[in-house]
Amino acid sequence: MISTAVRVLIPSATSFALGMVFAPFLAGVLYRAKAWKKSAGKSAGIGGGGTPIFNELHKEREVSTPRMGGILIWASVLGTALFFWVLAHTLDTFWPALDFVNRRETWLPLFAMAAGAYAGLIDDFLEITEGRGGLSLARRLTIVGSIGLVGGWWFYAKLGVAAIGIPFAAPLTIGWLVVPFFALVTLAIYAGGTIDGLDGLAGGVFAIIFMVYAGIAFGEGQASLAAFAASVAGATLAFLWFNIPPARFYMSETGSMALTLALAMTAFASDALAGGVGVFVLPIVALPLTATVVTTIMQVFWKKVFHKKLFRVAPIHHHFEAIGWPAAKVTMRYWVITIIAGVLGLSIALLARLP
């Protein structure tokens, strides 16, 4: 009989190994295709106006380093899931214990990852071929919001989830409002995906976050969900191996959309469905993503109300870069913060389950 810990660790190691083997091939394809931006910088998002400081900081690397590196992450995770699913359905030994694809815990996270990967891939393809910024922000938000609504409906109608877990208290029952709430949380996490802007930053942060959620799901007895989250962490670490400065490729939209949507589904799956508080601790565990969203909103508010910037650049990790911090210092300090925040969030989630 395979222990629960082994059921979680083997998929993680497998997705990492797949990523490491697949990465050189992917990098070769992306470089041959010249899959990078045609012009450096970005257009402003919800705040309007230009982004001259960001554009100056990133004017060289963005037009020589390929996008679409996020393919490595979701391809490794989906490949791992398929690998163990096939073995579980063809060999009647210990393989069924390693199959983490099931309706209650991982169907939705896997679907969300695949859907986000596909939508993000379209955005990246348009970016590198037409050079017009890919899909518009409105279209991307519509896609993410729609997937969030589908996820909320699935949890409410199919899995009977109508409450949100609260630490050290009874779950908060909100009925059908769980559907729009699910969509709002999904959109908020997606907004935090703009943390993908410095070599190694997003990869390290997301790997730690998914490691923490693997621990949360493991503590709740959700072996399949824990294996999925651990598999995502393993694949993201393989991506990080090639994204550490100087990056061989960038995660870009196909990676960030896949990861943020999968994270939203994982947080909800580890919440009231399992008697946990996965959503409540999400802003803590994913503190860098929270800071990304909050500082962007603050920047927009400051510009609208006071007609000046609060930060030199938003999100705040680019502010630190703009005031002279080396990119590597920003990245590594974000990793440290994510670890500490993750330990705190994991502690709250586990303590909340004590009788």
Q: What is the pLDDT of residues 201-222, one digit of tens each?
A: 999 999 999 999 999 999 999 9
The number of helices, as runs of H, and strands, as runs of E, in the chain is 13, 2
How far is it, in rounded angstroms, from Cα 151 to Cα 25?
34
Q: What is the pTM of this model?
A: 0.94
Q: Are 70 and 258 in contact (CB under 8 A)?
A: yes
Q: What pLDDT does 93 receive?
A: 77
Q: Does the pLDDT value for residue 1 go beyond 70?
A: no
- What letter does residue 103 receive in the DSSP assignment? T
Indicate whether 56 pLDDT > 70.
Answer: no
Average pLDDT rounded to a whole number, residues 93-97: 81
Contact 207, 237 (CB under 8 A): yes
Q: Among 72, 108, 92, which Cα is nearest to 225's?
A: 108
Let me know: does 23 contact 242? Beta carbons within 8 Å. yes
Domain with 113 in it: 4-351
193: left (phi over 0), alpha (psi -120 to 50) or beta: alpha
Residue 196 pLDDT level (bands cut at 50, 70, 90): confident
At position 198, the amino acid (one-letter code) is L
Q: What is the mean pLDDT of the chain?
A: 91
Question: What is the pLDDT, as a whole number, of residue 118?
Answer: 96
- In angstroms, what is the C-alpha Rg of the chain? 20
By C-alpha distance, which of 205, 153, 225, 217 is closest to 182? 153
List all residues 6 or more positions away from 167 whose beta carbon is below 8 Å from its beta carbon.
Answer: 277, 280, 281, 348, 349, 351, 352
- Residue 61's pLDDT is 61
Query: Structurally, how many domains does the chain consist of?
Result: 1
Return the pLDDT at 129.
86
Cβ-based neighbour number of residue 254 at 10 Å: 27
293-328 pLDDT per residue, tens: 999 999 999 999 988 898 888 888 889 888 989 999
The residues pairing with 163 across neighbouring beta strands, listed in sequence order, are 173
- Stretch among 72-76, 131-135, 208-212 having the lowest mean pLDDT: 131-135
Q: Is the pLDDT of residue 60 over 70?
A: no
The candidate with the shortest Cα–Cα distance to 231, out of 349, 67, 101, is 101
pLDDT at 96: 85
- Predicted pLDDT at 22: 96
Beta strands in the chain (DSSP E): 163-164, 172-173
State whether residue 172 is helix, strand or coil.
strand
Give the helix, strand, coil percentages of the chain, each rounded to 5: 70, 0, 30
Identity of the amino acid at 286 = A
**Mean pLDDT of all residues in 79-89:** 94
* Position 69, amino acid: G
Instruction: Name residue, tokens 């210990």.
Output: 94
Between 47-51, 161-165, 215-219, 229-233, the lowest mean confidence (pLDDT) is in 47-51
Q: Say whether pLDDT at 58 is over 80.
A: no
